[in-house]
Amino acid sequence: MGLGKTIRIYLNDGSVSGIRHAEIVNWTGQAITSPRSKIKNLASWDESNKPGVYFLFGVDKESGDDAVYIGEAENVFSRLQNHITKKDFWNEVVFFTSKDENLTKSHVKYLESKLVQLAKLSARHVVLNGNEPQRPVLPRGDRDAMDEFIANLIILLGAVGYKTLESIDKAKPTLICEQDSQVIEVPNTDILELFLKVKGIDAQANVTDEGIVVLANSHASKTVNKSLSAGYAKLRNQLVQNGTLIEMDGILLFTKNQLFKSPSQAAAIIVGYSVNGLNQWKTKDGFTLKSVEESNTQNI
């Protein structure tokens, strides 16, 4: 279990949709969020006139999915003024600078490179960066300091509403550190693994704080029953259209991990008809998810 964090968020005009300043207590980093319509107001913020990294959030015009562009600048406000005229997909920016003067041009370029890589690995947003930025060579101590900066940045980015850098499958969380230029992933032994097997359909999933993640290579029925709700049927069609579900050997196959909001949503889309996911999803020992949840509640 990780250590707890205390986060402070200041609402500049008393509105959660306006400019916000966020910080983790006892950390030198800081985050500023702003709607596109209020970028000019950042001119008077010293925090925005520093070196830093930024996230432009909006919608990808090709797919209609949530999109992000990640960049760096020696003066964040100046770069944002440029993006107002040259990039029209975004409607909100979140940027990170330091309360002290320790972030250099090399530091923010290093951060940018790693953040783009992590955003692509998590696949929560369409990443609109054309290429992964080249990573500068930093002394070992500086690399460790920037990796620690990223760990706190991920927490604060999530706290202001964006889980862009977090893996949807918490069973294999992406770590910040690397070995031989490869991202290290370590299994989380505290995860609940579930299985669904019915009429030749074989699926596996992990329970997370966000819902249930059906794992890549899980099966789904090719046929759909009339009992499947319109909302679930629509989502199922979207998964087929975007390539998450592909036909193979008479069944549908998940090509990547897919997050669902509830066990029943995941199970219904897999089997193709209305079903209670709490009874259908089972542990490797054969216990239903319902019995696991009831047992956990009774043991409090």
Residue-wise pLDDT for 197-246, tens only, equals 998 899 999 998 889 999 999 999 999 999 899 999 999 999 999 899 99
Is 107 within a domain? yes
Say yes or no: 153 and 294 in one domain. no
Q: Which of 122, 143, 175 is the last residue of a domain?
A: 175
Count the neighbouring beta carbons within 10 Å of the beta carbon of residue 21. Answer: 17
Tokens 């995941």 identify what position? Answer: 266
Say yes or no: 226 and 151 in one domain. no
Is 180 within a domain? no
Q: Using one digit for the tens of pLDDT, what is the confidence trace for 4-21?
A: 899 999 999 999 999 999
Say yes or no: 37 and 139 in one domain. yes
pLDDT band at residue 253, thresholds of 50, 70 and 90? very high
Say yes or no: 160 and 14 in one domain. yes
Say yes or no: 94 and 231 in one domain. no
Q: Which of 29, 1, 3, 44 is nearest to 160 (CA)?
A: 29
Averaged confidence pLDDT in the chain: 90
Is 186 within a domain? no
Q: How far is CA 55 from CA 39, 62, 83, 157, 245, in A?
A: 14, 19, 11, 10, 30
If you count DSSP H runs as helices and E runs as strands, how many of each does the chain have, helices first?
A: 7, 16
At 115 the pLDDT is 97
**Each residue of 230-264: b (16+ CB within 10 Å) or e?**
eebbebbeebeeeebbeeeeebbebeebbbbeebb
pLDDT band at residue 158, thresholds of 50, 70 and 90? very high
Is 182 within a domain? no
Say yes or no: 126 and 225 in one domain. no
Is 2 within a domain? no
At 169 the pLDDT is 73
Say yes or no: 94 and 214 in one domain. no
Say yes or no: 26 and 141 in one domain. yes
DSSP reduced 3-state for 215: coil
DSSP reduced 3-state for 297: helix
At 299 the pLDDT is 58
Is 14 within a domain? yes
Looking only at the bridges linking them, the beta strands covering 20-24 and 7-11 are antiparallel
Q: What angle do CA 105, 96, 86 make, to 5 degrees?
A: 80
Say yes or no: 274 and 140 in one domain. no
Cα 207 from Cα 3, distance rounded (Å):
22
Q: Which of 140, 175, 210 is the last residue of a domain?
A: 175
At 252 the pLDDT is 95
- DSSP-assigned letters across all residues of 146-194: HHHHHHHHHHHHHHTT--TTS-S-TTSPEEEEEETTEEEE---TT-EEE
pLDDT band at residue 177, thresholds of 50, 70 and 90? very low
DSSP 140: H
pLDDT over threshold 70, residue 74: yes
Q: Which amino acid is at 207?
A: V
Say yes or no: 88 and 155 in one domain. yes
State the residue range of the domain holding 201: 192-298
Dihedral of CA 39/44/45/46: which sign? Answer: positive
Q: How far is CA 99 from CA 43, 46, 70, in A?
A: 17, 10, 21
Say yes or no: 201 and 158 in one domain. no
Domains: count for the chain: 2
